[in-house]
A and B are shown apart, each in its own frame.
Chain A
Amino acid sequence: MPAAPEAAKIVVRGLHKEFEDRATGRKISVIGGLDLSVRAREFVCVVGPSGCGKSTLLYILGGFVPPTSGDVLIDGQPVGPPGPDRGIVFQEYALFPWLTVIENIMYGIRNESSRAARRARAEQLVAKVRLTGFEHQYPRHLSGGMKQRVAIARTLAHNPDILLADEPFGALDTQTRSLMQEELLRIWEADRKTIVFVTHSVEEAVYLADRVVVMTARPGTIKADIAVPLARPRNFDALMQAPEAMHLRAELWRLVKEEVLRAGGAP
């Protein structure tokens, strides 16, 4: 399934990341020799036990955190500082609370010349994430699901090639979560960006991804790289029943559980 390296959008080779424990001064190895390749327009989910470095991997791809060693290439170039070519969505939404919905979305729009043009584009995005009527609300008046819709719209506003998502639906209740997954797939299927999506939910990974990458316990490496050969567009309810999807979920859960147990956590 993985294509030749030259066709890859993201290539990670021999990535190591160490952090220094502030209290003890000891080095902690979070990522220990990780290789990963993501093709353009591919939707890859990363799963693994807590603390396995999956978020750190995402932050390195975003350019927020430098790697300790190894190569991280985007379009064949070493990863640079954060920029509008890579959008990121966080679990905590990270909306600016002092800006309204529309102002938050407009924040990221830079390439339109006039304010009116930026506003028109923001309005389109508001419609895209189905928040028409809430343009002038402040984030504190929105529910978690609505905040995450705004965050997604804000990220799409600067039209990134790559979308990085750090457990974006992790804080939402089950119903909102599955609605948001559906919404994300709808948006992605219309405009296929390369997505690296970190989650702790095996079910979510199987529903969303073209490929699921399982990370080992810390220091994280790739334990398994599993294709999800399910036809799109996918239907969540149908996938819950489909034997192929059930089998995949069971397999992934077995792999993750091994690592959770190895990390010493309760499954």
Chain B
Amino acid sequence: MRRRADAAVRPRSNRDSRIGGLISLVIFLVTWEIVTTTGLVPDDVLPRFSAVATTWWDMLVSGELVRQAASSLSRQMVGFTAAVVFGVSLGIVMARHRAVDDFAGPLITMILPIPKAALIPLVMLWFGIGDAAKTIIVFLGTILPIVISAYHGAASVDQVYIWSARSMGDDRPTLLWRVIFRAALPEIMAGMRMGLIISFIVLVGAEMLAGQGGLGWLVFYSLDNGAYRVTYAAMLTIAAVSFGYDRLFLLVSRRVLHWAEQSP
């Protein structure tokens, strides 16, 4: 209970490591620019970074990138939020009620090892290729780490918290919300972060397979049409968006979990 704030939740706010990360990024981009301008790597396979950057800027100004990113993010947010609400509730209830655990537990352990990408064709078969299908894919892809973390968080809540709350008059439903959920929050947030990372992987995959807009679609569509600069620009955008989202999430979880013994 005293080590709840998992290391994964804690951002490395260490200044040295941040500068280190920046240096490696700069080296990467410079190398990219050099191997393409010197012709070491043919330009039609890998456009120059400067060219990609120009294209990226043009697409940003034209609103194209924003439109596609918004389309991806709206699917991600709906699917992810649904997974959080449903997954956290299920995980907590499973941890505290034997019957629910016995019922849902085997199902979850069975589904767990299935690669989430394998769900994409199946969901498309059932729900078509629209927004609903992609949202459902995000939901399915992200719910498991969330259920599992909520389950473990709720199952390992210190008995004395529960007893204290019961002796202060909490009934069982109140207890779930006021004590179990709060005490499990550090683990839940760690699971949510895992889900967040997975959500982008499965979403981009789904968008590539089934068109109709989004950053993943943009990658695939531009590749099909030989517009490689756009492909790279879209990929960089995906990387930037998921990185920024993750950082934002860390910032929020640091604020929410400020009370935890191990919080930064």
Binding site for B on A (CB under 8 A): 59, 62, 64, 81-84, 86-88, 90, 92, 94, 96-99, 107-108, 110, 138-140, 154-155, 157-158, 160
Contacts and interface: CB of A to CB of B under 8 A. Distances in A.
Contact of A86 (B165, B167, B261): B167
A158 B169 contact: yes
A97 B260 contact: yes
A94 B167 CA distance: 12
B167 to A, nearest CB: 5
Given A97-B259, A98-B182, A98-B259, A87 B167 contact: yes
Contacts of A139: 259
B167 A88 contact: yes
A62 B167 contact: yes
Nearest to A166: B160
20 contacts: A64-B166, A84-B168, A86-B167, A87-B168, A88-B164, A88-B167, A90-B160, A94-B160, A94-B164, A96-B164, A96-B179, A96-B182, A96-B183, A97-B259, A108-B169, A110-B169, A138-B259, A140-B260, A158-B168, A160-B167
B185 interface: yes
Instruction: Give the interface centre of A90, A97, A99, A155 by most chain B CB atoms within 10 Å.
Output: A97
A64 B161 CA distance: 12
Given A98-B185, A138-B259, A140-B259, A82 B179 contact: no
Contacts of A88: 163-164, 167
B116 to A, nearest CB: 32
B6 interface: no
B44 interface: no
B76 to A, nearest CB: 28
Contacts of B183: 96, 98
A107 B186 CA distance: 21
A24 to B, nearest CB: 22
Given A94-B161, A108-B169, A138-B259, 19 more contacts: A59-B163, A62-B163, A82-B163, A88-B164, A92-B158, A94-B158, A94-B160, A94-B163, A96-B164, A96-B182, A98-B182, A98-B259, A99-B259, A107-B165, A107-B168, A110-B168, A140-B261, A154-B164, A160-B167
Contacts of A82: 163, 166-167
A88 B169 CA distance: 12
Contacts of B167: 62, 82-84, 86-88, 155, 160
Interface residues of B, number: 19
Contacts of B165: 107
Instruction: Give the interface centre of B168, B258, B261 by most chain A CB atoms within 10 Å.
Output: B168
B189 to A, nearest CB: 12
A154 B261 contact: no
B98 to A, nearest CB: 15
The 5 residue pairs across chains A and B that have the minimum distance between CB atoms: A94-B160, A82-B166, A108-B168, A84-B169, A82-B167
Nearest to A90: B160
Interface string B175-188: 00011001101000
Interface in B185-244: 185
A90 B164 contact: yes
Contacts of B182: 96, 98
A221 B166 CA distance: 28
A139 B261 CA distance: 9
Given A98-B259, A140-B261, A64 B169 contact: no
A92 B161 CA distance: 10
Contacts of B169: 83-84, 108, 110, 158
Contact of A92 (B160, B185, B258, B259): B160
Contacts of A107: 165, 168, 178
Contacts of A90: 160, 163-164
Interface string B5-34: 000000000000000000000000000000
B183 to A, nearest CB: 8
A171 to B, nearest CB: 13
A107 B168 CA distance: 8
A126 to B, nearest CB: 17
Contacts of B163: 59, 62, 64, 82, 88, 90, 94
Contacts of B185: 98
A134 to B, nearest CB: 15
Contacts of B260: 97, 140
B129 to A, nearest CB: 43
A154 B167 CA distance: 11
A110 B183 CA distance: 21
A158 B163 CA distance: 14
Nearest to B185: A98
Contacts of A62: 163, 167
